[in-house]
Structure 1
Amino acid sequence: MATDYDTPRKTDEELHEESLEELKAQRADAQSGQVDIDEAEAAENLELPGADLSGEELSVKVVPKQEDEFTCSRCFLVKHVNQRVRGEGPKAVCRDCD
């Protein structure tokens, strides 16, 4: 169940005021015979406001691997040599993957 963090939080007094019957009714509603919605299908039809990025292009300058860097054999990220824990060349492993 999703949590809406923007809603005001209840005080301790308000929490104690909820009756057992209200809680049971909420539980019964949650367990009703409602069919689950396929999340992947729902996400395809979801449009975020201002999120039309179809005309945008991403331009990034790619810098080749430097002499003081290595590629981790587990995560395949390029790291500085001071991040290498063990191995040399293609068998080098970074500190995060060790």
Structure 2
Amino acid sequence: MATDYDSPRKTDDDSGDESLQELQTRRADTSSGRIDVDETDLAESLELPGADLSGEELSVQVIPPQADEFTCSRCFLVHHRSQRTSERDGQPVCLECAA
């Protein structure tokens, strides 16, 4: 038996006996002409691109690559040595870049 997937589907949950007035009053209750305004000062706490950050200090500790890590010559990310594939042009390449 073929099924027409474009035809409207009727389920047991659909109650077709609701009147137009009931639907209009329910719609009028949920929607109002009021605009939601965010009262928080979120815009003041955001940094814009190109902002002067010369007075800021780096608060992250940078750790150099360990003996069992390497830096991929394509993506420049530090990976564990298990992620290393054959070298290309004498430089190490990770599995993701080699694929």
TM-score bracket, normalised by the shorter chain, equals 0.3 to 0.5
Looking at secondary structure, tell me which structure has more helix per residue.
1
Larger Rg: 2
Looking at secondary structure, tell me which structure has more strand per residue.
1
TM-score when scaled to structure 2? 0.41
